[in-house]
Amino acid sequence: MKERYEFKEIEQRWQKEWKDAKAFKVTEDPNKKKYYVLEMFPYPSGKLHMGHVRNYSIGDVVARFKKMQGFNVLHPMGYDAFGLPAENAAIKNGVEPAKWTYENMAEMTAQLQQMGLSYDWDRELATCTPEYYKWMQWIFIQFYKKGLAYKKDNPVNWCPSCQTVLANEQVVDGCCERCKTPVTKKELSQWYFKITDYAERLLDNLDKLPGWPDKVKIMQRNWIGKSHGANVDFQIDGTDKVMTVYTTRCDTLFGCTYMVMAPEHPYVKELVAGTEYEAPVLAYIERCQHMNEIERTATTNEKTGEFIGRYAINPVNGKKVPIYISDYVLMGYGTGAIMAVPAHDQRDFDFAKKFGLDIIPVVDPGDPSIDLYNLTEAFEAEGTMINSEQFNGMNNYESIPKMIEWLGERNLAEATINYKLRDWLISRQRYWGTPIPMIYCEDCGWQPEKEENLPVMLPTDVEFTGKGESPITTSKTFVNTVCPCCGKPAKREVDTMDTFLDSSWYFLRYCDAHNDKEAFAKDKVDYWMNVDQYIGGVEHAILHLMYARFFNMALYDLGLVDTEEPFQNLLTQGMVTKGYTDDKGEYKVAKMSKSLGNVVSPHEIIDKYGADTARMFILFAAPPERELEWSDAGVEGSYRFLGRVYRMVYNFVEEFGNGELATTGSSKADEELLFTLHTTIKRVTDDIDKRFNFNTAISAIMELVNAMYKYKDGEVNAPLFRYALKMLITLLAPFVPHICSEMWEHMGFEGSVHDEAWPAYDESAMQRSTVEIVVQINGKVKARMDVDPEMDRDALGEFAMADEQIKALLEGKNVMKVIAVPGKLVNIVAK
RNA sequence: GCCGGAGUGGCGGAAUUGGCAGACGCGCCGGACUUAAAAUCCGGUGGGGGAAACCUCGUACCGGUUCGAGCCCGGUCUUCGGCACCA
């Protein structure tokens, strides 16, 4: 160890040592308690950004800490390597997607290794390798056989720029999640996963995940969107057709004054055929199809629609009400048709006002300021039933089950549950993804490829035009094959899988990353799963985290895994932001991004200060869930702190050399040092283990360092101070592993600090003979005194009252009450 | 519109169960070392008043509960995030 803190030399040396020794390689060990810590694997864009650094720094502290606590820690890393950017690079620069991806992965691996992360690199995986996607295809086939995968013609979300379909989850604000182009609808035959079969379990199990942030659970609950209601049948007048509507508000049935069908509703064309309404209705439908998602769903839009010339009969009172079509009714939810109650639903109210339809109130709010027969807006809350015959006078909410019962007895309705969650559209018209292992035969229909023929390899003889169909269509070798069923010529599916499938089970593959006989050995997965701590950005709260839960549940049902839920505890880290000046010269803070020019690259920080400093700063600047504002001055501070620790070790060894340790002391200063040391151990342990508050753990260590500097000014008990240094290095090791290895070695300690047991704190060293309490008068601090920590309530009160200073302050006042809290304070209430 | 966070010094943030508000770090001020600077070490640092002991105000705003509120309750404002015509 040199006099100066040469971080580059130190970091390179220890990184090489860890790599060569495979220091973090693990195998299943039934005698040891396992701990699986996982950070969301990156897309190999080529460069690490600060969000990655934050994510992996957090994970690395947890992994190293748990290892020191004696757990058998699985901490793997890999790449979510399929995806659009590789393909775009091919279109733009003519680089092969595979080449582009593998080069990026190599670059990122080098950058990850510069951070000193404790990964078991032997388990590294990339989803774009045939070794991985073979098993992806195998899982697809298992799902297919179980009836969880099906092909269907449907209007789908289409991104005109990416030239591919998107899952509902990938449409954000009506635009493509990736390129922000407004999404349009297109009728296509596509593969789906039946995630809706799991809606109820995905919802229920959220209650069994106390280690997940409420925010994420709420977002998933909203996304699943369970609602209780009823399907109610309305006879269409003059036909044998029944129009079934879904409603959560059966209480308002008597207020129904018209009906609305979605423009895509299959009855519509039939009902208008040959009538005077046909032309305008078809024109309206046409217009809707050409609208993109934004135009269609904009709430500010005025309501539009067309009367279809038909009437439905309200089952509760036999009244005839007109049927309209309007785009505010969605085909994909409920039955694609609604009963409209303008008095008690704002959307219906707006529509009724525009089209001059009746508004009949059936729920009385009991508020004289509301003129029921001249409503200015819909009344949607609780009230008393009116205009509803035998239900009049009831509370409207209480009448709902009664109404459903009444209708049920007459076979007109049944209680129904609906979910907003839709089936997962997984086909993509792209090249760089896992080929869907399905074959179409004229005679046998869709058949899965034989398992022994997997993987269905991605062809390399393709052209990248960036237009229309999957580029795989251009392959001369891929499409034509034989039917696995009858052996006749057949054609392969040319679409690939959504890359979210790849990332829905990678955590299982890590348990047995190079198995070429099966996706993963069950005993290995049973040993490691589930993930004890998962860490990643909150942007995956719905997409990835719900898909992965669905996959794990389906695999559980297939008997392939033993746990239903894949992630026991989840930590969603906040964004890394930085200040910048916008066009108008205003100072703002936002997520680091190239377009705003507020990016700091990890590489430049590691180059200037080292990985330990980068890790320390990023963990110290904010608690992990919160947004972290980058500060160059703050980095400087972390660097200074490490220098301070380094010098303390270096100077101590210069002066006292290496030698024996003492865990007890004799002087008052010794005791004080031991007190600080042990309270620090406790604070740091709790902060990492129970709270994930690395920022306060680090500040506690900083306080210890300050206390040690103070101690060094007096008489130094060298064996005791040496012990304190040993503990200090141990506490710091999960945060800043390189410098700690270096200091550990310099002090002549055995082995590696990273194999040390995490220190235990000694309660007795944390006991003090006296404790300072404060004495308040009327809640204001007036005095401090040292007392025996054991002193009870009454004695404490008397002791405080006996104090001369307090007596003087109470002169001429009436003591009303004395509240004493042992070990903390006394509050005297006086007038 | 609905759902969920957050609001504390000049700044990032502490305060773990209702009990000393501002830990720790940054910045700033002063001192030591130095020919000088950097680096380092030591001290100070919420506002107002005071020579000082000390007094007083202070956790977005208004009100409440309590001996005691940054923390609990009611209301308001600001701000960030998610969802959004889901019947």
Q: Helices (DSSP H) in A257-372: which residue ranges?
A: 266-272, 278-290, 293-297, 346-355
Q: Which two tokens stand for residue A579?
A: 């200040």
Our measurement of CA A221 to C1' B3, in angstroms, reads: 11
Dist. CA A408–CA A107, nearest whole Å? 65
Of the candidates A206, A220, A211, which has an alpha carbon nearest to the alpha carbon of residue A570? A211
With beta carbons less than 8 A apart as the criterion, state whether A621 and A629 touch.
Answer: yes
Coil, strand or helix at A757: coil
- Please enumerate in sequence order all residues whose Cβ is within 8 A of that of A511, keeping only pairs 6 or more positions apart, or say none: A74, A520, A521, A524, A525, A527, A528, A529
Q: Which residue is nearest to nucleotide B85 (CA to C1')?
A: A328
A596 CA vs B38 C1’ separation (Å): 34
The nucleotides of chain B lying under 7 Å from a protein CB are 3-5, 11-16, 19-21, 23-27, 39-43, 55-56, 67-69, 81-87
What angle in degrees, to the nearest 10, is found between the helix axes of A602-609 and A611-620? 110
Residues A749-777 have pLDDT tens digits of: 999 999 999 999 998 888 877 788 888 88
CA atom of A377 to C1′ atom of B1, Å: 13
Which nucleotide's C1' atom has the smallest distance to the CA of A350? B85
Q: At what angle do helices A718-732 and A668-686 cross, to 10 degrees?
A: 10
Q: Which nucleotide is nearest to A577 (CA to C1')?
A: B12
Angle CA(A487)–CA(A492)–CA(A493) in degrees, nearest 5? 145
pLDDT on residue A579: 80
Contact A217, A570 (CB under 8 A): no
User: DSSP of A553-609, one letter per residue?
Assistant: HHHHHTTS-S-S-SBSBEEEEPPEEEEEE-TTS-EEEEE--TTTT----HHHHHHHH
pLDDT for A294: 65
ipTM for the predicted complex comes to 0.95
Locate tokens 């990248």: which residue? A464
Using the CA of A697, give the nucleotide whose C1' is nearest.
Answer: B24
Which residue, A127, A123, A149, is CA-closest to A136?
Answer: A127
Are A754 and A23 in contact by the 8 Å Cβ rule? The answer is yes
Quickly tell me which residue has 């001055």 as its tokens: A633
User: Smallest CA–C1' separation from A773: which nucleotide?
Assistant: B20
Nucleotide closest to A702 measured between CA and C1':
B24
> How many Å from the CA of A709 to C1' of B43?
15
Q: How far is the CA of A699 from the C1' of B36 (A)?
A: 35
Contact A349, A303 (CB under 8 A): no
Distance in Å, residue A43 CA to nucleotide B81 C1': 24
Helix or strand holding residue A152 (H, E) = strand A149-159
- The pLDDT value given to residue A469: 75
Q: Tell me, in Å, how far CA of A369 is from C1' of B76?
A: 24
Nucleotide nearest to A246 (CA to C1'): B87
DSSP character string of A435-481: BP-EEEETTTEEEEPPGGG---PPPS------SSS-GGGG-SSSSEE
Query: How does A550-571 read in b/e, with b if 16+ C-beta sit within 10 Å?
Result: bbbbbbbeeebbebebbbbbbb
* Secondary structure class of A746 (helix, strand, coil): helix
Nucleotide nearest to A828 (CA to C1'): B67
| Structure-block tokens of residue A219 | 């977002």
CA–CA dist A704, A684 (Å, integer): 11
Q: According to the model, what pLDDT value does residue A566 have? A: 97
Distance A668 CA to B15 C1' (A): 28
The rounded distance, in Å, linking the Cα atoms of A725 and A1 is 16
Q: How far is CA A485 from the centre of its chain?
A: 42
b/e map A661-700, b = 16+ CB within 10 Å: beeebeeebbebbbebbbbbbbbbbebbeeebbbbbbbeb
pLDDT given at position A157: 82
**pLDDT number for residue A192:** 95
Quickly give A262 CA vs B26 C1' distance in Å: 59
Report the pLDDT value the prediction gives residue A300, as an integer from 0 to 100: 57
Whether the CB-CB separation of A700 and A685 falls below 8 Å is answered with no
Q: Which nucleotide is nearest to A335 (CA to C1')?
A: B87
Distance CA A617, CA A625 (A): 15
What pLDDT sits at residue A298?
A: 60
Burial of A192 (0-12, 13-18, 19+ CB in 10 A): buried
Distance CA A777, CA A811 (A): 12
Cα A15 to Cα A748: distance, rounded to the nearest angstrom: 20
Pairing verdict, β A363-364 and A337-340: unpaired
Low-confidence ranges of chain A (pLDDT < 70): 292-301, 466-468
Separation between the CA of A678 and the C1’ of B26 (whole angstroms): 28
Q: Are A305 and A326 in contact (CB under 8 A)?
A: yes
CA A44/CA A128 separation, integer angstroms: 11
Distance A54 CA to B5 C1' (A): 21
Measured CA to CA in angstroms, residue A707 lies from A541, A619, A677, A714, A725 at distances of 42, 22, 9, 12, 12
Nearest nt by C1' to A620 Cα: B25
Nearest to A824 by CA among A776, A755, A764: A776
B39 C1': nearest CA residue: A640
Compute how many other C-beta atoms are within 10 angstroms of the C-beta atom of residue A806: 20
Cα separations in angstroms, A667 against A369, A671, A674, A715: 79, 6, 11, 9
Query: DSSP readout, A207-248?
Result: GG-TBS-HHHHHHHHHHH--EEEEEEEEEETTSS-EEEEEES
Answer yes or no: are the C-beta atoms of A658 and A748 closer than 8 Å. yes
> Cβ distance A161 to A168 under 8 Å?
no
pLDDT at residue A801, rounded to an integer: 84
Q: Are A549 and A115 in contact (CB under 8 A)?
A: no
Distance A175 CA to B27 C1' (A): 44
Nucleotide B40's nearest residue (CA vs C1') is A644
